[in-house]
């Protein structure tokens, strides 16, 4: 299985930039696409898709969110961070079955 | 608008079967793909399996032969059955839709299932 590694937590100040990383133990690129996706989950809510295929903004997601990366290293950036962004962020790969998720990064405000 | 809603018992006894229903509105399950994902206490998330628009299925090998996903197209519902549950199957269970990118773009609210005697 492909293992996705995320830092458990990140603290940033309002208005600053948050960069959340996700590293995989196998390449998730295939025919020009990186099969990496990002989700936001707030307590008591379902996950929400933010970014698909590493860098594509999902429908209705503000442009403050962006994703980049390829191969085995990916990042989700939130700039600027707003109070409503406090949540846990997960990466997920769909390059190989079984599809797997990272352990999540909890974003907190300083 | 695509909406998904899970339903089923919140408490299951060890060794019994867990059965959940995902009811979909606003979109036909005869298009795209429909999956089950669970989130354990402590935040680990696990993809369990999916059923496709044609009715074909794929399962996480970690669940071996315990899992089955079926559907009723007339009711626009799909189902999860997980057999021989243990306390380690205690989790919040989500149903979700995905497309060819295999990004889960629509999710249900989730249903918390506790396995306990």
pLDDT of residue A8: 94
- CA angle, A42 then A49 then A71, to 5°: 115
pLDDT of residue B99: 87
CB of B85 closer than 8 Å to CB of B8: no
* H runs (alpha helix) in B1-117: none
pLDDT of residue B59: 97
B25-66, pLDDT tens digit by residue?
999 999 999 999 999 998 999 999 999 999 999 999 999 789
Interface of A with B (CB under 8 A): 33, 35, 37, 39, 45-49, 52-53, 58-59, 88, 90, 92, 94, 97-101, 103-104
Q: Report yes or no: B101 at the A interface, CB cutoff 8 Å.
A: yes
pLDDT of residue B102: 80
Residues of chain A above pLDDT 70, percent:
100
Residues of chain B above pLDDT 90, percent:
92
B101/A52 Cβ within 8 A: yes
Write the CB contacts of A106 (distance below 8 Å, at least 6 apart in sequence).
Answer: A8, A9, A10, A87, A88, A89
């Amino acid at each position: 299985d492909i293992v996705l590694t995320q830092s458990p937590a990140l603290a940033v100040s309002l208005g600053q930039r948050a960069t959340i990383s996700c590293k995989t133990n196998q390449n998730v690129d295939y025919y020009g696409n990186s099969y990496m996706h990002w989700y936001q989950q707030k307590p008591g809510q379902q996950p929400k898709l933010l970014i698909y295929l590493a860098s594509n903004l999902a429908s209705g997601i503000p442009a403050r969110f962006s994703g980049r990366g390829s191969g085995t290293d990916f990042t989700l950036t939130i700039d600027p961070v707003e109070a409503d962004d406090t949540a846990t962020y997960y990466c997920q790969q769909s390059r190989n079955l079984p599809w797997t998720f990272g352990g999540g990064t909890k974003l907190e405000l300083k | 608008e695509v909406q998904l809603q899970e339903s089923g018992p919140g408490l299951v006894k060890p060794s019994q079967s867990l059965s959940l229903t995902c009811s979909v509105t606003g979109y036909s399950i005869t298009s795209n793909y429909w999956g089950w994902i669970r989130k354990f206490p402590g935040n680990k998330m696990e993809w369990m399996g999916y059923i496709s628009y044609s009715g074909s299925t794929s399962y996480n090998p970690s669940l071996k032969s315990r899992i089955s996903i079926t559907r009723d197209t007339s009711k626009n519902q799909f189902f999860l059955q997980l057999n021989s549950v243990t306390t380690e199957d205690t989790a919040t269970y989500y149903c979700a839709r995905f497309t060819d990118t295999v990004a889960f773009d629509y999710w249900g609210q989730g249903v918390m299932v506790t396995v306990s005697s």
